[in-house]
Amino acid sequence: MKELDYKTFEGLFKGLDSQQNNMFAHSQVRENEAKYQLVFQNAPIGLIHFDKNGVITSCNDTFVRIMGSSHEALIGMEIAKLPDKRVVKLLKSALNGKYGHLEGIYTSVSGGKPIYGKLNFQPIINDEGQVMGGVGILEDITERKEYQQRLEYLSKSDPITGLFNRTYFEQYLDSVNTGLFKEKMAIIVCDIDDLKLVNDTMGHSAGDRLLVAAGKLLKDSTPIDSVAARIGGDEFAILIPVHSPDTIEDFEQKLEKNITLHNEKHPDLPVSISYGYAVSDENQNDMKALFRKADLLMYRDKNQHRRLSRNSKIQRFLHYRQPAASCSPARTATLKAHITAFCEFLNISQVVIHYILGLADYHDIGKAGLEKCQISGQFTEEEAMLEMQKHCEIGYRIALSSDEISIFANAILKHHEFWNGKGYPLGIKGQEIPLECRIFSIVCAYDELIINGLSRAEAFKKLQDMAGRELDPEFIRMFILFMEQKDSDT
């Protein structure tokens, strides 16, 4: 056997080494390809390959999901034939060796799914500088964009009415002030009459409904190029370009008509709005001074509205209190006749009689905001009873808000107090309870017993059972004596 010389031996090993290097290189390529495919398929963003003709050759699962489509529908698609010209332009840029991107709403052709996306196209260029195709990267930013839009909306909008808020309105006034061209403008400042009364008597949910209704009425009564905002608890402001001498008159007529129609449909929660307005001179600079003038005029209007508005609300509360026999006009008339006769029997002054008769008219006025809660099934029977007990305090606040019946407020508050101190809402007892309440409670209790079908003798027995517990025992004795004497006279 011929011995291998050194050079032959060296060449053999070099050949082996080269072969091993090639094998290692191929192994590395395969490993890198596998890693790339793993990354490509599992990337959290959408990825596609397209060839030098703009045909999609591969896409990952994320891209398919974002498009709402399938691999079969997407692979082989010619990007240049898509109807969205923005994407076609982006493709042409990439095939010319340039990076490009776009952001906006895109609707998938194959899936029909609209998204707000961010799309990048990157060319693939070989060693000779030739474009071999490209890579597309798609990110679905719909949720992010909606969140940003929501934040932007909240930053300038009132959460209850959906109108602009005070911050935005003031910024808008500043922009009008600093603008080079100043057209003739009007500022209208509006106030919702008796919102606090509604909140206190019917609850804040009713107050919110009133605000929403008022905001819509104001918006519907103003031109499309106006800016309407809620600038305080019950206060609104509107900036209107004055295009003609009739601009303000048109607003007033539309608002009056819209309020009338609304109140006919919603008599349980009518809207009343006081407002004042001021119109600028052309090229007026100080819009905030114009606002202050309109605000002052609104308060003058509100003072004129106050009495009429509150008296109309009192009538509404009377109309919408419990529609039962216990509150019927006939029952009230009978009750007042008994009260008058009994008080004259006791030789009580006409002033006190007047208070008791007023209590007969208004004692349940606070039930207006509570009946619907009970009827709607919002509460259990026990919870509904506790809610109904609030009507004394609610009626007290209603009465205080009205010049007409404020003198009855104290009696309305205390007409469900018991002689033994176990009544509501204050738990006072004995002669701490006002005289008019003690007399009213006896006559009212007797009348209720008769309405429920008891005979006069049975009613007297029930009243005697309540003496010293719910009712004043001395007045019980005097009432029975009065009724017996009345019977003997007839």
3-state helix, strand, coil in the chain (%, to 5): 60, 15, 25
Q: Which residues does 474 contact at the CB level (< 8 Å), separation at least 6?
A: none
If residue 101 lies in a helix (H) or strand (E), which one and from where to where?
Answer: strand 100-107
Per residue, the 3-state secondary structure of 152-211, as one string, reads HHHHHECCCCCCECHHHHHHHHHHHHHCCCCCCEEEEEEEECCHHHHHHHHCHHHHHHHH
Distance CA 415, CA 175 (A): 57
**One fold for 157-318 and 321-489:** no
Q: What is the residue type of 258?
A: N
> Which superfamily is assigned to 16-145 in CATH?
PAS domain (3.30.450.20)
* CA 165 to chain centroid: 13
Q: What angle do CA 61, 65, 69 make, to 5 degrees?
A: 100
What is residue 374's predicted lDDT score, i.e. its pLDDT?
A: 45
Distance CA 124, CA 48 (A): 12
**Omega of the bond prior to 323 within 30 degrees of 0, cis?**
no
Helices (H), 320-408: 329-345, 350-362, 371-375, 381-388, 391-400
What is residue 315's predicted lDDT score, i.e. its pLDDT?
A: 61
Question: How large is the angle between the packed helices 204-220 and 195-202, nearest 10 degrees?
Answer: 150
Q: What is the residue type of 106?
A: Y
What is residue 449's predicted lDDT score, i.e. its pLDDT?
A: 93
Distance CA 219, CA 231 (A): 14
The owner of tokens 């119109």 is 279
* CA 115 to chain centroid: 29
Handedness of CA 377, 383, 385, 387 (dihedral sign): negative
Distance CA 88, CA 485 (A): 104
| Among the listed residues 258, 170, 276, the one whose alpha carbon sits nearest the alpha carbon of residue 214 | 258
Local structure of residue 116 (DSSP, 8 states): E
What is residue 181's predicted lDDT score, i.e. its pLDDT?
A: 59
Distance CA 422, CA 333 (A): 29
Thinking of the domain 321-489, which architecture would CATH place it in?
Orthogonal Bundle (1.10)
Q: Which residues does 49 contact at the CB level (< 8 Å), separation at least 6?
A: 56, 57, 58, 59, 133, 134, 135, 136
Domain 157-318 adopts which CATH fold? Answer: Alpha-Beta Plaits (3.30.70)
Helix (H, G, I), strand (E, B) or coil at 3: coil
Distance CA 192, CA 210 (A): 8
Distance CA 115, CA 111 (A): 11
Distance CA 368, CA 268 (A): 9
pLDDT means per 10 residues in the chain (490 residues)? 50 52 55 67 88 94 90 93 92 93 86 86 91 92 81 83 93 81 85 86 87 95 93 93 90 95 89 92 76 90 66 60 56 90 93 90 77 52 72 86 84 94 93 94 93 91 94 94 80
Q: Domains of the chain: which residue ranges?
A: 16-145, 157-318, 321-489
Local structure of residue 285 (DSSP, 8 states): -
What strands, in cross-sheet order, belong to the sheet with 131-140?
Answer: 56-59, 46-51, 131-140, 114-125, 100-107
